[in-house]
Amino acid sequence: EAGVTQFPSHSVIEKGQTVTLRCDPISGHDNLYWYRRVMGKEIKFLLHFVKESKQDESGMPNNRFLAERTGGTYSTLKVQPAELEDSGVYFCASSQEGLGRNYNEQFFGPGTRLTVL
Amino acid sequence: GQNIDQPTEMTATEGAIVQINCTYQTSGFNGLFWYQQHAGEAPTFLSYNVLDGLEEKGRFSSFLSRSKGYSYLLLKELQMKDSASYLCAVRAPGGSNYQLIWGAGTKLIIKP
């Protein structure tokens, strides 16, 4: 079974440009999460989709960030315009509750390393 | 505020035992996770604790004390491949639901 995939693995852009990150969750997983890790700091929650609906977007830094999950399959995270402080690793994770466990294990993708110059 | 503390770096010897501690202060609690992350790779799930006590899974065990806001991850019979970052995360109320609040991770270095 394929895991969570993310594209691109690396992106280097200049301040003011636009970048779109993509996440393909594990097939059948309704829950999709975006996280960000700034170098040297902890992973921070950005938002949570349940199917195509935004369940929780309280972690989104500002309105330069836009996440979508049309059709409830893959998701995109667009940063427009990018700023220097947006640099970091963006992780995507997916999960499916109700698999006989009493917890919600999230499966992570390898991340997209974004560098804004 | 929400805060998760864990040591930045630890060193241990192959074949030995190491304990990585995690303390947390959160507005609520709905479980604690440990993840392993090798450099440049995805974090992978190791363990979950929601009740007090020890959960054992092969060479890895995880302990939780909710009254103390404390957990540890115990790794036995260390192997070189265990060199990685170990992330502690607490599921706590946030936004409109529960969120994972993460520690900064403990980089574990295994020496021969």
- Min CA distance, B28 vs chain A (Å)? 16
Tokens, residue A68: 């979508």
**Percent of chain A whose predicted confidence (pLDDT) is above 90:** 83
- pLDDT per residue, tens digit, chain B (112 aa), is 789 999 999 999 999 999 999 999 998 999 999 999 999 899 999 999 999 999 999 999 999 999 999 999 999 999 999 999 999 999 988 776 788 999 999 999 999 9
Query: What SS3 class is residue B82?
Result: helix
- Optimal mutation site among A32, A89, A103, interface B, most CBs of chain B within 10 A: A103
Is the Cβ pair B42, A106 closer than 8 Å? no
What does the alpha-carbon distance between residue B20 and residue B9 come to, in Å, rounded to a whole number? 9
How confident is the model at residue A99, as a pLDDT?
A: 52
Query: What SS3 class is residue B98?
Result: strand
How confident is the model at residue B98, as a pLDDT?
A: 82
Q: Which residues make beta-bridge pairs with B101?
A: B90
Which of the four pLDDT bands, split at 50, 70 and 90, describes residue A39?
confident
How confident is the model at residue A72, as a pLDDT?
A: 86
CA dihedral A2, A105, B71, A90 (to 10 degrees): 60
Q: Which residues make beta-bridge pairs with A44?
A: A36
Return the DSSP state at B81.
Answer: G
B17: phi then psi, degrees, rounded to nearest 5: -120, 145
Peptide bond into A8 cis (omega under 30): yes
Decide: A31 and A73 in contact? Cβ < 8 Å: no
Minimum CA–CA partner of A113 in chain B: B40
Closest CA to B20 of B84, B94, B112, B79: B84
Is the Cβ pair A57, B95 closer than 8 Å? yes
